[in-house]
Structure 1
């Protein structure tokens, strides 16, 4: 890899370290609520090593290397520098790498799935390792992978057969996508859910499904598919092979997590919370995802808690097959003032959803009004922190029982010092800076509630039983003919659309938000305007900032596209790029890229504010309608082709010229320093400890977490 190529993989210098402010919200809790939050926080952070192992083989030893150096130095990094005899710059580059590593819980970016490497020479890390026997042991265990760049494909997460990095298929470099898909199809047919599993191919060509659980053996009551653990495949692609269920993946971590969850159950505020945590504990102890689904049912019923949480193998973006979940968990406090606006949005949702560009045949019979709360995060364990969440991800629960939405307020409001904003024209900068937070809050609200919360999947729920009129099928607005495809028994949205599902659904939800943000009564809910249409007023400013933000996000997303593999490394970025393409294709000079020279060094977004409600909204609605109907009808062939075309990157203009300018203006992503909680066993009181928003503060917070 030449120096120019290598440049894009260097660790941020420095990363934007931001503190998650939580103290006043935590202090407002009762002692029991503080203990409840403490145990959930401990359970969440208890999965940190799971996340590291889910990213790369070297991530956990790198984590231990950083923690060993902190321990041996006592936090005095200057003294350690002197002992290692390295320069000030080398120490700074180590600390920058360490903070970015901890902020991503691994050595691949949580937003982009690309590896990052230190800016200092390898000799500096070797010198630091030599200062402590433990540090040396863990550094040796990384086997040189911190700095290795000799295999370009390994710089990105993805399928093993394409040479990419993944640990969802451990010890199986030769496993093929076809084999992964075949095992997935077998699991779907058997009713074995995949989120807490990994898949290994044995030397004889058979397969092991590793199930995350504290127990290392089949539970006495049986697993989710009965008392068998070994299955001989008689026909199909896997004919003659054996599939074995292996319990106890991440056994030590799952046992600690289950113990902390039981502590949360003892401090629950109500019966739904207690049943939720009992179901969590059963799932984490035994590996049962049916028990985990029960936890999500109780979670939905736990309306308006002061301490909100969710935990488990949740999002499936990083598994190349798009079905296995990454560990995450959070504990947070409700911001009652901001929650009122989201509550009003929930109340308005039944009148907003019928405005979307499809008939009631493609919408749920009844909108299941969810909890929608604005949260202040105490703890978020995972590879990154989102701005909002809509879960559970199980379609059978979402379609018939409901879901919850949360907006993470202190994540939304966290600002990096001296943040630069490229690609916004000078004339737009004032409005953009003034209203980007407000517009983003509106966007998150609509995205999570109406975006992920809308839509019906046409299903054959069991053989011969349909959730639509099979004799008189709905008429597709795309073809003006009766629909001819639907989900068969056992199929889910994720299993049908596979690795495309995550990005496709994020795009659909973003488009719903862009479409409905044009409704001025929605903007009024969040305190902008009086509900009347006024594109030139304050509400119009918010709408303009929202469309500018989306266009800019689509532009900067090219950082996440790899020209070598022609692969998108981040589902949200892929989605936002396609929405920018939608804006540019809207016609009527609605959206353009403006620049003078061939090198694009003065690249700016030009967006005609006066045409948002006409050309802009129409283009968004047309794009949204296609994505939605293809999803609703399980038309994977047409849906994937269409979305693939919308997310295609022309290599010459977008992949070279525009991407080069995006990389030249790349801004460091924020990494968050989170507080720790401490329980006094004698008194039952919990105290909170904050850390400085510095590189050293980030490392200290992890060292004192004792994961």
Structure 2
């Protein structure tokens, strides 16, 4: 299965300072909203919203309401006690009347902000359970003050154990080799079943001779009934029906403002899918959605990416509403128009190339709302649908969220990152000059072409790589983008103006993969998140394979380690060699080779380098993770109740937004 909703390259450059840009000129847009734990919360602009027609604005409004209405679904998917814990802690927060400078209270507030950000009690990236720094006695005392009607129905002793016992549900998604990944994962998409039982269940269902297989398990929870594995579908009348009914009501309202018949058709097909739960309906919706290339307003809404399933099958609920940035889209349109050239000239074996690349469309978009698994932390690029056969037969859509990358960039100035980690001024100047454009181009190539490149051989199961599928798919798309960033074709197309520009992205990527992304890992832990494994795999493989030639060196200077790239052209060749092998693994479904590649290069952490990276980051005060608050949309009506406009404002802060969302968009029973 393709896993394509991704922060291609380094998610929002790690070189973003918490303390920088906190002073602003009068009237200047304030990007930074809040800082806590390892997180910085930003806000983003929605430029050109006012240029949309009233019809388009109302379409955006109802699609945003549909997006926000699914919030509780993701919380419940992430853990069976998440909603009860969120309700309990929010009640304590709203009713607290003690000293606000109390150490327990301050730690409690930070913990609540963390679980809001992660949509549950496990870190959104490391998957480890948050360990509260306030006492159990503090929480019990404050809960005892609450009216009984404000308490969750779940046994409080169970909730206290889940919150405070580090041995209870310690990992949302476990990817450790040799363990039962279902039994050791806390995500609420399996219950009472084991990994072998689930794998055997789907193996018995799949027919590898079928050319258009559905995405098995995408919208279901797997449980055991009378000793057998049974799927419970997410649909109206099934699991999450209360939230899905609200989503559908807003989708119906949105369909009345559709820009054209094609858009109306795929909205109505999405409603049908939510009503029936049929994965065949989902494929039909995906095909209609891919074919709608004329609408300016667009959206995703549903169970899409499967990173939070230890087996890589069940989709987490998410939604993004957006509209096309027409001037900026010229870049992605230029790339997608040359899709066949890129496929033909790829360094992979010809057996694994597509003879005809179909329906690749790409655009730069302005995000209007982020929701579900895309909120508060969000991707900067999207490539969908994930089904290989739909991509091969009908094509795919790729987008770059440029108002999100712009917000990251505006908040990133003056962090001191380059001074601390970049080897010399020449390289630092190269990054300053070319990194923003090459990073965006990396995202464009990753999403527009990388995920859509190559093909599976006949009879290969799309899920053959199992738990390693996500990492290898991201590696494949990243390698495709890295390889072509250095190609003269990009200069020929007018996308870059210097043959040296690509070196900025190469240096940042290797530095991140070998060193700086380790700031996100706790001492003693392995790398588990798919995107981080992907980047480490690529950087470590190239470092080791190019070792005798000293393509990449780790240089010691004044007790600090620096990355030096001595041979950029040879590094490009290494990217091409690894791309060829990863594509072979995917095309042939070579599980053992894929497992060995990931476990050898993408998992283990050098403790000395790790300790050094953490120490060097301490004085930079840089948040490893960033996310967003959403703008607020409001209908403007005349005295007769007719909508005359839709306005957007940016004055809602993090805590008020989270509390409002819990008040206005909670729908599931606890």
TM-score range (shorter-chain normalised) is 0.7 to 0.9
Displacement of 1:603 in angstroms is: 2.9
Displacement of 1:691 in angstroms is: 4.2
Match of 1:117 in 2: 131
Q: Does structure 2 retain, via aligned residues, the 8 Å contact 1:280–1:295? A: yes
Moved more, 401-410 or 56-65: 56-65
Match of 1:458 in 2: 457
Match of 1:638 in 2: 593
Displacement of 1:407 in angstroms is: 0.5
1:685 to 1:194, Cα distance in 2 relative to 1, 3 A: farther
Work out the CA distance in 2 between the residues paired with 1:636 and 1:315: 21
Displacement of 1:617 in angstroms is: 1.0
One of 516, 537, 540 as aligned partner of 1:556: 516
One of 657, 675, 693 as aligned partner of 2:631: 675
Match of 2:230 in 1: 208
Match of 2:646 in 1: 687
Q: Does structure 1 retain, via aligned residues, the 8 Å contact 2:162–2:168? A: no
Work out the CA distance in 2 between the residues paired with 1:693 and 1:661: 39
1:631 to 1:637, Cα distance in 2 relative to 1, 3 A: same
Deviations 1:143-167 (A, max 9, x none): 1256425318714523566533221
1:590 to 1:145, Cα distance in 2 relative to 1, 3 A: farther
Work out the CA distance in 2 between the residues paired with 1:373 and 1:350: 17
Moved more, 356-365 or 437-446: 356-365
Work out the CA distance in 1 between the residues paired with 2:435 and 2:77: 34
Q: Does structure 1 retain, via aligned residues, the 8 Å contact 2:520–2:624? A: no
1:507 aligns with 2:467: no
Match of 1:593 in 2: 554
- Structure 1: runs of 5 or more not aligned: 1-10, 74-79, 216-247, 461-486, 535-539
Match of 1:106 in 2: 120
Q: Does structure 2 retain, via aligned residues, the 8 Å contact 1:563–1:655? A: no
Work out the CA distance in 2 between the residues paired with 1:41 and 1:437: 29
Displacement of 1:623 in angstroms is: 0.9
Query: What secondary structure, in the 3-state scheme, does the structure 1 residue paired with 2:422 have?
Result: coil
Match of 1:188 in 2: 206
Match of 2:194 in 1: 176
Deviations 1:220-240 (A, max 9, x none): xxxxxxxxxxxxxxxxxxxxx
Match of 1:571 in 2: 530
* Equivalent runs, 1:528-547 vs 2, <5 Å: 528-529=496-497, 534=499, 540=500, 542-547=501-506
Q: Does structure 1 retain, via aligned residues, the 8 Å contact 2:307–2:530? A: yes
Q: Does structure 2 retain, via aligned residues, the 8 Å contact 1:676–1:701? A: no
RMSD: 2.9
Match of 1:312 in 2: 302
Work out the CA distance in 1 between the residues paired with 2:252 and 2:356: 36
One of 325, 331, 337 as aligned partner of 1:341: 331
Q: Does structure 2 retain, via aligned residues, the 8 Å contact 1:65–1:138? A: no
1:263 aligns with 2:253: yes
Moved more, 332-341 or 415-424: 415-424
1:513 to 1:289, Cα distance in 2 relative to 1, 3 A: same
Match of 1:163 in 2: 184
Work out the CA distance in 1 between the residues paired with 2:658 and 2:145: 18
TM-score where L is the length of structure 2: 0.82
Query: What secondary structure, in the 3-state scheme, does the structure 2 residue paired with 1:496 have?
Result: coil
Moved more, 206-215 or 413-422: 413-422
Q: Does structure 1 retain, via aligned residues, the 8 Å contact 2:71–2:665? A: no
1:406 aligns with 2:395: no
Work out the CA distance in 2 between the residues paired with 1:431 and 1:692: 37
Q: Does structure 2 retain, via aligned residues, the 8 Å contact 1:413–1:437? A: no
Displacement of 1:34 in angstroms is: 1.3
One of 34, 37, 43 as aligned partner of 1:13: 37
Moved more, 352-361 or 411-420: 411-420
Deviations 1:675-704 (A, max 9, x none): 232346732345345344754354356356
Displacement of 1:506 in angstroms is: 0.3
Query: What secondary structure, in the 3-state scheme, does the structure 2 residue paired with 1:368 have?
Result: coil
Match of 2:423 in 1: 425
Match of 1:373 in 2: 363
Deviations 1:585-634 (A, max 9, x none): 2232221223368xxx72322223xx211x20111111111111221223
Work out the CA distance in 2 between the residues paired with 1:285 and 1:108: 31
Work out the CA distance in 2 between the residues paired with 1:47 and 1:663: 37
Displacement of 1:349 in angstroms is: 2.6
Aligned pair count reads: 600
Match of 2:278 in 1: 288
TM-score where L is the length of structure 1: 0.78
Query: What secondary structure, in the 3-state scheme, does the structure 1 residue paired with 2:586 have?
Result: helix
Work out the CA distance in 2 between the residues paired with 1:121 and 1:686: 49
Q: Does structure 1 retain, via aligned residues, the 8 Å contact 2:450–2:480? A: yes
Match of 2:170 in 1: 154
Query: What secondary structure, in the 3-state scheme, does the structure 2 residue paired with 1:595 have?
Result: strand
Query: What secondary structure, in the 3-state scheme, does the structure 2 residue paired with 1:113 have?
Result: coil
Match of 2:23 in 1: none
1:15 to 1:304, Cα distance in 2 relative to 1, 3 A: same
Deviations 1:647-689 (A, max 9, x none): 242xxxx342223334443733112011232346732345345
- Structure 2: runs of 5 or more not aligned: 1-34, 175-179
Q: Does structure 2 retain, via aligned residues, the 8 Å contact 1:304–1:371? A: no
Q: Does structure 2 retain, via aligned residues, the 8 Å contact 1:13–1:93? A: no
Work out the CA distance in 2 between the residues paired with 1:638 and 1:335: 41
Displacement of 1:136 in angstroms is: 4.7
Match of 1:228 in 2: none
Displacement of 1:424 in angstroms is: 2.6
Greater relative CO (CA pairs within 8 A, separation 6+)? 2
1:385 aligns with 2:407: no
Query: What secondary structure, in the 3-state scheme, does the structure 2 residue paired with 1:198 have?
Result: strand
Deviations 1:103-146 (A, max 9, x none): 32222233232222344444554455456436654897571256
Query: What secondary structure, in the 3-state scheme, does the structure 1 residue paired with 2:319 have?
Result: strand
Query: What secondary structure, in the 3-state scheme, does the structure 2 residue paired with 1:199 have?
Result: strand
Q: Does structure 1 retain, via aligned residues, the 8 Å contact 2:312–2:470? A: yes
1:625 aligns with 2:576: no
1:325 aligns with 2:280: no
